[in-house]
Chain A
Amino acid sequence: MQLTGSLFANMSAVYGNALSTFPDYPAEIRAPHGTVSGVSGFQVHIGSGDIHTPGDYCDLLVAMNPAALKANARWCKRSAMILFDTDAFDEEGLSRAGFGTDNPFTELKVEDRTLIAAPITKLTEESLKDSGMDMKAIHKCKNMFTLGMACFIYDRPLEYIFQYLESKFAKKHPEMIAPNRKVLTDGFNYAANIQAIPNTYHIAPAPLEKGTYRNITGNQAVAWGLLAASEKSGLPLFCGSYPITPATGILEELAIHKSLGAKTLQAEDEIAGICTAIGAAFAGDLAVTTTSGPGLSLKSEALGLAVMTELPLVVVDVQRAGPSTGIPTKTEQTDLDQALYGRNGECPIPVVAAHSPAHCFDAAFQAAKIALEHMTPVMLLSEGFLGNGSEPWRIPSMADYPEIRPPFARSVEGERFRPFERDPETLVRPWAIPGQKGFEHRIGGLEKNHAGVLSSDPANHELMVDERLQKVLKIADFIPELSVDGPSEGPLLVVGWGGTYGHILSAVRTARAEGKAVAMAHFDYIFPVPRNTGEVLSRFSKVLVCELNSGQFARYLQGLFPGLDIVRCNKVQGQPFLVNELVDAINKAL
């Protein structure tokens, strides 16, 4: 189902629609078939205008079995079509999904929707009976038959999928091309012939900015943004990571791109992931480690080491539902506190957040630029929703990205190198890389003075603690100011950070269309916050902070700006916001 969904999305993107996707799948690789907890779903939202979210409610629900219907029926609009495989809606299927009667639609109160009953299993078997494939392989093609039907409903030409099949199977399984083409076409023709489909739709291309586009997922964009930073800094990329859902895609993506000099080390554990990266940073690479919440917990001590040694390091946390193992495949924004505070001692680390799948590219580039130019570990927060989600992206030109200039140490004749002698403006220390003659020095987790000599002197410790903090705070001079969407002052500013961007933007624009004076500000830079943050927030009587946790960013803002009237909209269900929920919260706050 994940493949079918992404094929439909890619085809729509190539056609020119604006779109957003949200794969929602169980944690188990082979979850119990036919049960509600085992449903693997893929949500696609396409349109001719602004699309910022995967959508709240659907126009077409494809239910391959009763469990899929049960898990998703509540998301069907009044006008929705429900396309389902009658062969799977037998007694056994209904009982596995926990239905008590033989009419699941009445049971779920969706019997008034447009129901398109198609014997998809049997039709697929019939379509491929002469293909020479065994029954198991034939049944795997059911999704392709269904995709053919969906293509008819949304007036999509099949050529894109034909091309995809060619490129996927040409080398290893050329025998798979013809049957897949056939079953897809049969599905399309079947939908055209049955006359059970009351409406078909044509979604015209969106008025997009001119240029070359591609689809990109958040995890892919993080990997590519890091490669871009590697190119712009002239430093090879090193990624030390341990596989963890939903961050693994970044390591997998980087492992492909050795032609750009990327070295990936699949470490023996999360701690080795970050410690190999710290070693690589010391040795002069652009060092990265990628993880999700539980892995970040394991890396805490080493993060302190990176702060103490003042080495550049990008730590990517693709957040998932916690605490502990939580719900690994579901999205959340619950690691903000951990990113900001989860270490021993006074241990400041800049925090940057990505706000959409494509924005992961810029966010990763900026995180790496800050790390390399300010000699500090940087936390990049992504989310499962962004990492696995995709959107069309207008491909930028690397010529438009700035150079990255790390503060390499310059030799001073006759003087011993002082590793913590800071730049007076930025408080950044010089970076001397092993192999450079005359710069031999020692760094480590113990407190040192500016000369790099061990020191437990009380005044020196306090000075270094303060300088490490001031160094990070000064990064605010190098990041963009906070911008406001909508009126620049008024009764309500809606604030968010990270992957809620699209939902909040849609909600705020909906509210404004209804005549409400609502503005929006979204934080890509969380620590330090942009310089004008206090000034922006103070122009509004009330600030509504929306986030997928119990109020971590709201508490943080309240701590920074105690005078603000902050109200909160929180959701901790492992799922993104619905635009409707946010519109309600806005109306309540006004």
Chain B
Amino acid sequence: MATLSFKDFKSDQEVRWCPGCGDHAVLAALQRALPKVSQALAYEKERYVVVSGIGCSSRLPYYMDTYGFHGIHGRATAISTGIKVANPTLTVWQACGDGDALAIGGNHFIHAIRRNIDINVILFNNRIYGLTKGQYSPTSKFGAITKTSPYGTVEHPFNPGSLVLGAKGTFFARSLDVELKLNEEIMTAAALHDGCSVMEMLTNCVIFNDGAHKEISDPAVRADRTIVLRHGEKMIFGRNRDKGLVLDGLGLRVVTIGQDGVTEDDILTHDAHCQAMGIHMLLAEMRYPDFPVALGVIRDVRDVTYDDGVRDQVRDVMLKSKIHSVDELLHSGSTWEVE
């Protein structure tokens, strides 16, 4: 098969996101990741389907030169599910925002995760409604001042990672829009994961929520306020690579290597493939300023997938059943002759 490059995944449509929008970088990462995925899995371009709901990020399918479906608000996950069940040989990617996936589409989102349908969900989290011009979203911070919360919100935000893990998700990763390399790496891992992969991309909205993630994304502080997790590697972070995570009672604690007798051996090693969810939940819930925010693949475990289950059940029943045509069906059971 021909080797694909990022250009093969660029459509002829003009990208209409605002200059400086975080979505540009996520699109670029996807266009760079898919050729690698195609190489690794021997996928032709026509196997890709990109699905979305409604919102700024949901314009993404138009910018990908693949099969694409721009759905309705909140329902991308249901549409993706139908596509994958109908044809499990397709590889389905989904773009959706925090409002799309977690407010109007919350139900479909958790049920896709529960079923473990083999789709790859990129969740663009800018903590704001951008396309409707600046209302708070289910991930807006408590007290956020927006057009519909001029005195600050009085509701708690979702942490998408907790939601995914709570629904027994098999794959969860988090990253920042600007981490192009890491995002390619995450997207490739998501594609290789057999099951529902959720990638939370912390994106900036330059117009309605500029600096949405500035406190951790600012290059001056990023290394100290985030930790990139990689399976099998020590949980070490900081611009001097001298900070790490250890278990402390029922929780995690940040320590400094070289202080209080702490050595590198004391630092936890990340195990993304560990079936038990406890440590993954602790990592997903780490919040600045008490902790660095966890980036990278936090959880990646195997479990049976819904699309395989549907396919296998149809095959098994076909093998066992005596009815293989509609004529046979019509004559099955109780019938009688009129002479």
Q: Is A69 an interface residue, CB under 8 A from the partner?
A: no
Q: Which residues of A contact B339 (CB under 8 A)?
A: 210
Q: Which residues of A contact B44 (CB under 8 A)?
A: 437
What per-residue 1/0 map shows which CB atoms of A443-460 lie under 8 Å from chain B? 111100000011000000
Q: Is A434 an interface residue, CB under 8 A from the partner?
A: yes
**A395, B78: Cβ atoms closer than 8 Å:** no
**B90, A283: Cβ atoms closer than 8 Å:** yes
**B87, A435: Cβ atoms closer than 8 Å:** yes
**B49, A434: Cβ atoms closer than 8 Å:** yes
Q: Which one of B78, B317, B333 lies within 8 Å of A267 (CB-CB)?
A: B78
Q: Is A398 an interface residue, CB under 8 A from the partner?
A: yes
Interface stretch of the complex, out of B17-25, B60-68, B216-224: B60-68
Q: Is B276 an interface residue, CB under 8 A from the partner?
A: no
A305 to B333, CA, bound (A): 40
A230 to B89, CA, bound (A): 20
What per-residue 1/0 map shows which CB atoms of B87-106 lie under 8 Å from chain A? 10110000000000000000
Q: Is A199 an interface residue, CB under 8 A from the partner?
A: no
**A279, B336: Cβ atoms closer than 8 Å:** no
Chain A CB within 10 A, most for which of B82, B85, B331: B82
Q: Which one of A268, A281, A441, A454 lies within 8 Å of B111 (CB-CB)?
A: A268
Q: Is A587 an interface residue, CB under 8 A from the partner?
A: no
Take A268-B108, A284-B87, A440-B46 as given contacts and tell me if A277 and B82 are in contact as well, using a CB distance cutoff of 8 Å. yes
A221 to B182, CA, bound (A): 54
**A16, B66: Cβ atoms closer than 8 Å:** no
Q: Which residues of B contact A282 (CB under 8 A)?
A: 49, 69, 79, 82-83
- Contact residues, B302-339 vs A (CB, 8 A): 310, 313-314, 317-318, 320-321, 323-327, 329-331, 333-339
Q: Which residues of A contact B65 (CB under 8 A)?
A: 440
Q: Is A261 an interface residue, CB under 8 A from the partner?
A: yes
**A16, B46: Cβ atoms closer than 8 Å:** no
**A445, B71: Cβ atoms closer than 8 Å:** yes
**A278, B87: Cβ atoms closer than 8 Å:** no
Q: Which residues of B contact A258 (CB under 8 A)?
A: 313-314, 317-318, 321
**B46, A257: Cβ atoms closer than 8 Å:** no
A446 to B72, CA, bound (A): 9
A236 to B337, CA, bound (A): 32
What per-residue 1/0 map shows which CB atoms of B185-220 lie under 8 Å from chain A? 000000000000000000000000000000000000
What per-residue 1/0 map shows which CB atoms of B158-193 lie under 8 Å from chain A? 000000000000000000000000000000000000
Take A14-B334, A210-B339, A442-B70 as given contacts and tell me if A259 and B80 are in contact as well, using a CB distance cutoff of 8 Å. no
What per-residue 1/0 map shows which CB atoms of A206-227 lie under 8 Å from chain B? 0011111111000000001001
- Chain A, residue nearest B9 (CB): A440
**B324, A259: Cβ atoms closer than 8 Å:** yes
**A240, B82: Cβ atoms closer than 8 Å:** yes
- Chain B, residue nearest A164 (CB): B334
- Contact residues, A417-452 vs B (CB, 8 A): 434-446
Q: Is A100 an interface residue, CB under 8 A from the partner?
A: no
**B82, A283: Cβ atoms closer than 8 Å:** yes
**B82, A443: Cβ atoms closer than 8 Å:** no
- In whole Å, how far is B199's beta carbon from the nearest beta carbon of chain A? 20
A431 to B107, CA, bound (A): 30
**B336, A16: Cβ atoms closer than 8 Å:** yes
- Contact residues, A1-52 vs B (CB, 8 A): 10, 13-14, 16
Q: Is B259 an interface residue, CB under 8 A from the partner?
A: no
**B314, A444: Cβ atoms closer than 8 Å:** no
A445 to B69, CA, bound (A): 9
Take A16-B336, A398-B326 as given contacts and tell me if A272 and B111 are in contact as well, using a CB distance cutoff of 8 Å. yes
Dominant SS at the A interface?
A: mixed
- Chain B, residue nearest A256 (CB): B317
A262 to B79, CA, bound (A): 18
**A238, B85: Cβ atoms closer than 8 Å:** yes
Q: Is B243 an interface residue, CB under 8 A from the partner?
A: no
Q: Is B86 an interface residue, CB under 8 A from the partner?
A: yes
Q: Is A581 an interface residue, CB under 8 A from the partner?
A: no
Q: Is B297 an interface residue, CB under 8 A from the partner?
A: no
Interface residue tally of chain B, by bracket? 35 or more
**B108, A434: Cβ atoms closer than 8 Å:** no
**A214, B330: Cβ atoms closer than 8 Å:** yes
- In whole Å, how far is B80's beta carbon from the nearest beta carbon of chain A? 6
Chain A CB within 10 A, most for which of B47, B66, B81, B339: B81
Q: Is A228 an interface residue, CB under 8 A from the partner?
A: yes
**A280, B334: Cβ atoms closer than 8 Å:** no
Q: Is A481 an interface residue, CB under 8 A from the partner?
A: no
**B323, A434: Cβ atoms closer than 8 Å:** no
A14 to B321, CA, bound (A): 26
Q: Which residues of B contact A214 (CB under 8 A)?
A: 330-331, 333-336
Chain A CB within 10 A, most for which of B13, B67, B68, B84: B67
Q: Is B45 an interface residue, CB under 8 A from the partner?
A: yes
Chain B CB within 10 A, most for which of A224, A258, A305: A258
Take A279-B81, A279-B83, A301-B72 as given contacts and tell me if A261 and B318 are in contact as well, using a CB distance cutoff of 8 Å. yes
Q: Is A56 an interface residue, CB under 8 A from the partner?
A: no
Q: Which residues of A contact B68 (CB under 8 A)?
A: 440-444
- In whole Å, how far is B240's beta carbon from the nearest beta carbon of chain A? 47
Q: Which one of A16, A240, A434, A453 lies within 8 Å of B87 (CB-CB)?
A: A434
Q: Which residues of B contact A240 (CB under 8 A)?
A: 78, 82
- In whole Å, how far is B308's beta carbon from the nearest beta carbon of chain A? 13
**A263, B318: Cβ atoms closer than 8 Å:** no
- Chain B, residue nearest A432 (CB): B67
Q: Which residues of B contact A14 (CB under 8 A)?
A: 334, 336
**B89, A224: Cβ atoms closer than 8 Å:** no
Q: Which residues of A contact B310 (CB under 8 A)?
A: 263, 265
Q: Which one of B107, B321, B327 lies within 8 Å of A268 (CB-CB)?
A: B107
**B86, A238: Cβ atoms closer than 8 Å:** yes
Take A231-B325, A261-B314, A442-B62 as given contacts and tell me if A10 and B334 are in contact as well, using a CB distance cutoff of 8 Å. yes
Q: Which residues of B contact A302 (CB under 8 A)?
A: 72, 75
Q: Which residues of A contact B13 (CB under 8 A)?
A: 453-454
- In whole Å, how far is A221's beta carbon from the nearest beta carbon of chain B? 10
Q: Is A287 an interface residue, CB under 8 A from the partner?
A: yes
**B89, A285: Cβ atoms closer than 8 Å:** no
**A454, B66: Cβ atoms closer than 8 Å:** no
- Chain A, residue nearest B104 (CB): A271
Q: Which one of B80, B108, B329, B333 lies within 8 Å of A227 (CB-CB)?
A: B329
A205 to B336, CA, bound (A): 12
Q: Is A388 an interface residue, CB under 8 A from the partner?
A: no
Q: Which residues of B contact A210 (CB under 8 A)?
A: 338-339
**A438, B46: Cβ atoms closer than 8 Å:** yes
**B324, A213: Cβ atoms closer than 8 Å:** no
Q: Which residues of A contact B71 (CB under 8 A)?
A: 275, 278, 305, 444-445
A268 to B306, CA, bound (A): 14
A211 to B330, CA, bound (A): 13
Take A214-B330, A224-B326, A440-B45 as given contacts and tell me if A445 and B72 are in contact as well, using a CB distance cutoff of 8 Å. yes
- In whole Å, how far is B300's beta carbon from the nearest beta carbon of chain A? 25
Take A279-B86, A440-B65 as given contacts and tell me if A224 and B329 are in contact as well, using a CB distance cutoff of 8 Å. yes
Q: Is B228 an interface residue, CB under 8 A from the partner?
A: no
Q: Is A382 an interface residue, CB under 8 A from the partner?
A: no
| A-B pairs with beta carbons under 8 Å apart, 25 shown | A212-B336, A214-B333, A240-B82, A258-B317, A259-B317, A259-B318, A259-B323, A263-B310, A265-B85, A267-B111, A268-B111, A271-B108, A272-B81, A272-B111, A279-B69, A282-B49, A282-B69, A284-B87, A285-B86, A437-B44, A438-B46, A442-B61, A442-B62, A444-B69, A454-B62
Q: With contacts A212-B337, A279-B51, A454-B13 known, what are 16 further pairs, Cβ within 8 A?
A: A214-B331, A215-B334, A258-B313, A258-B314, A259-B324, A260-B323, A265-B85, A275-B71, A276-B82, A279-B78, A280-B83, A394-B338, A396-B330, A398-B330, A434-B83, A438-B46
For the complex of A and B, 5 pairs with smallest distance between CB atoms: A279-B82, A444-B70, A259-B321, A275-B78, A276-B82
